Amino acid sequence: MKIVVLIKQVPDTYGERTLLADGRVDREQSDAVIDEISERAIEVALQRKDVDKTTEVIVLSMGPESATASVRKALSMGADSGVHVLDDELVGADAVRSALVIARAVERVGGVDLVLAGDASTDGRGGVIPAMVAEHLGLSYLASLNGLQVGNEVTGTQATESGTRDVRATLPAVVSITESADEARFPGFKGIMSAKRKKIDVVSLSDLGIDPSFPGLARSIVLSTAARPARKAGTKFHDEGDGADKLIDFLVAERLL
C-alpha cells in the first residue's frame, strides 16, 4: 500500500500571528513548524505501516524552502520519502491553486492508494483542500474522520449533530482526519539519523506540467486586512444574594438565553 500524507508548515501555533498587507500570514514573526494536525495524519499513516511493513508512506508539502525542514522531520518520524513542491510562482497561492498543484503532485507520485490530510490547517482554517484535491483526482472523499481503519477499503466515524455515523470508501481515496487522532510519535535518534539519507523530491510547476500563469483558473485576492480588536473587559457581578438574578438578566440582555 502506498500512502501520501499532505503536510503543511505553519507559524508556531502557540505564537501570535499577524497578517501582511496582502493578506498573507507574516511567517517571519514566529518559528515555522509542522502543523499539529499534519503530524497526527502522519501518525495515522505510520500506524498502518507498523501493522503492514510493506506500506510506503510519502509526505507531500507545498511551501517555501523552509518547508524542507518539516518534510525532513516527517522522515525522521518514520515516513519513507518526501515530495516538496517549491516554486516562487506559488507565493500567496489560494486554495484553488494549491489544490490543483497538490493533486498534480500526487498524480506524479503515482500508484497512490490513500491520501491522508488534516481536516483544516491552523493558519488558515479553510478546511477545503482535501475535498478539492479529491475532486481533481476523481477519488472518493471521507471528511473529518475521528477514527479510521485501512484494509481493502477505508472505514471510519464522523461526528454529527446527533451523534456519530460510520462511513466507508473503496481505495484509492482521500481522507481527512480530526484532532481526535492519536498524537504524533517523537522522532528517535535512529530516525533522525536515517532521515538524512531519505529522498526528498523537490519539484516545480514545470515538473508538474502546470503553466505558472494558471490560465482560466480564477484566484481570490485579499483587498485589505485589519488587526483584531483588543478584548474588552468582562462584566463583573457582585453577589449580594441576587447574583443568580443578575446573571439571568445579563444573559437575556445579550440574547444568550
pLDDT at residue 26, rounded to an integer:
73
- Model confidence over 103-161: pLDDT tens digits? 999 999 999 999 999 999 988 778 999 999 999 999 999 999 988 888 889 999 999 88
- Among 9-13, 40-44, 46-50, 245-249, which is the least confidently predicted range? 9-13
Q: Based on the structure, what is the number of domains in the chain?
A: 1
Residue 181 lies in a domain: yes
CATH number of the domain that 163 lies in? Answer: 3.40.50.620
Residue 233 lies in a domain: no
Residue 230 lies in a domain: no
User: In the predicted model, is pLDDT for residue 6 greater than 80?
Assistant: yes
Residue 122 lies in a domain: yes
The pTM for the full model equals 0.86
Mean pLDDT of 54-76: 96
Cα dihedral 201, 205, 206, 212, rounded to 10, equals: -170
pLDDT at residue 124, rounded to an integer:
78
Residue 256 lies in a domain: no
Residue 241 lies in a domain: no
User: In the predicted model, is pLDDT for residue 11 greater than 90?
Assistant: no
Q: From the CB of residue 171, how many other CB atoms can be counted at a distance below 10 Å?
A: 15
Confidence category of residue 222, pLDDT binned at 50, 70, 90? confident
User: In the predicted model, is pLDDT for residue 36 greater than 80?
Assistant: yes
H, E, C per residue of the chain: CEEEEECCEEECCCCCCCECCCCCECCCCCCEEECHHHHHHHHHHHHHHHHCCCCEEEEEEECCCCHHHHHHHHHHHCCCEEEEECCHHHCCCCHHHHHHHHHHHHHHHCCCCEEEEECCCCCCCCCCHHHHHHHHHCCEEEEEEEEEEECCEEEEEEEECCEEEEEEEECCEEEEECCCCCCCCCCCHHHHHHHCCCCEEEECCCCCCCCCCCCCCCCCCCCCCCCCCCCCCCCCCCCCCCHHHHHHHHHHHCCCC
Give the C-alpha separation, 201 to 68, whole Å. 10
User: In the predicted model, is pLDDT for residue 189 greater than 90?
Assistant: yes
Residue 131 lies in a domain: yes
Give the C-alpha separation, 257 to 42, whole Å. 43
- What is the domain extent for residue 45? 2-208
Contact call for residues 185 and 79 (beta carbons, < 8 A): no
Backbone phi, psi, residue 166, to 5°: -90, 135
Residue 44 lies in a domain: yes
Confidence category of residue 99, pLDDT binned at 50, 70, 90? very high
- Among 28-32, 38-42, 213-217, which is the least confidently predicted range? 28-32
pLDDT at residue 236, rounded to an integer:
84
